[in-house]
């Protein structure tokens, strides 16, 4: 399934580049993903007794005038080929391709407490500088973190939490005592 999703995404990316619509696609893919992940929308899209014609009418009503004609054509193709299960994975892959093209990454950050806007902006700036990419922050509040951040970004993770430091200290003390 992943391979076909990536093939669809690659074709859409190439079409967006050819048509000079990559910026437009970037915004519209987010709109499509938000809409298509909705439970009610998923119910319509994957229902086996709703015909391709009805699904295409649904896509037209929901997205015509809001998304590029190429993206709407992709939705129609998926409905015609009965490959609705590839729709969201293909759009996620396309979003990733566009983000890589623009050197944009999302950092998943866990903190014990909510950060203010200034702290988030500072974290973005530091990560952007070190990664040489534009960084967006997806902040999650996790009381189990205790203190300090846990950051996963661009395939790397940084664990500066108090929990990790205590674990490291325990290991260090055990190694020191056994030597």
Whether the predicted model's global pTM rises above the 0.95 cut? no
> Contact 11/91 with Cβ under 8 angstroms?
no
Domain with CATH 3.40.30 in the chain: 105-178
- The whole-angstrom separation of Cα 93 and Cα 116 is 31
Q: Which pLDDT tens digit goes with each residue over 120-141? A: 999 999 999 989 999 999 999 9
Choice between 15 and 148, residue whose per-residue pLDDT is larger: 15
Query: In the Cβ-directed half-sphere of 7, how many Cα atoms lie within 13 Å?
Result: 6
Q: Which pLDDT tens digit goes with each residue over 47-62? A: 889 999 999 999 999 9
The architecture in CATH of the region 2-100 reads Orthogonal Bundle (1.10)
Q: Strand, coil or helix: what is 25?
A: helix
pLDDT of 1 reads: 60
Radius of gyration, CA atoms only, the chain: 22
pLDDT surpassing 60 at residue 179: no
pLDDT of 158 reads: 86
Place of tokens 């229902």: 47
pLDDT of 96 reads: 92
The mean pLDDT of 99-115, rounded to a whole number, is: 91
The mean pLDDT of 106-116, rounded to a whole number, is: 90
Which of 152-155's residues contact partners 24+ apart within 8 Å by CB, and which partners?
A: 152/107, 152/108, 152/109, 153/105, 153/106, 153/107, 153/108, 153/127, 154/105, 154/107
Residue 68 has φ and ψ, to the nearest 5°, of -60, 145
Q: Which pLDDT tens digit goes with each residue over 64-86? A: 999 999 999 999 999 999 998 88
105-178: CATH, from 1.10.3470, 1.10.357, 3.40.30, 1.20.1440: 3.40.30
């Amino acid at each position: 399934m992943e391979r076909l999703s990536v093939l669809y995404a690659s074709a859409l990316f190439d079409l967006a580049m050819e048509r000079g619509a990559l910026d437009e696609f970037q915004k519209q893919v987010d709109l499509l993903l938000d809409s298509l992940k909705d439970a009610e929308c998923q119910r319509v899209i994957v229902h086996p007794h709703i015909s391709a014609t009805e699904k295409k009418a649904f896509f037209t009503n929901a997205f015509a005038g809001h998304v590029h004609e190429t993206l709407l054509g992709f939705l129609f193709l998926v409905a015609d080929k009965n490959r609705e299960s590839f729709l969201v994975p293909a759009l996620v892959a396309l979003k990733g391709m566009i983000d890589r093209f623009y050197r944009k990454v999302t950092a998943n950050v866990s903190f014990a407490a909510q950060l203010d806007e200034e702290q988030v902006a500072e974290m973005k700036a530091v990560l952007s500088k070190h990664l040489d990419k534009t960084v967006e922050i997806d902040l999650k509040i996790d009381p189990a973190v205790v203190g300090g951040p846990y950051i996963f970004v661009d395939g790397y993770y940084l664990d500066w939490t108090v929990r990790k430091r205590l674990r490291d200290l325990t290991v260090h003390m055990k190694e020191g005592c056994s030597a």
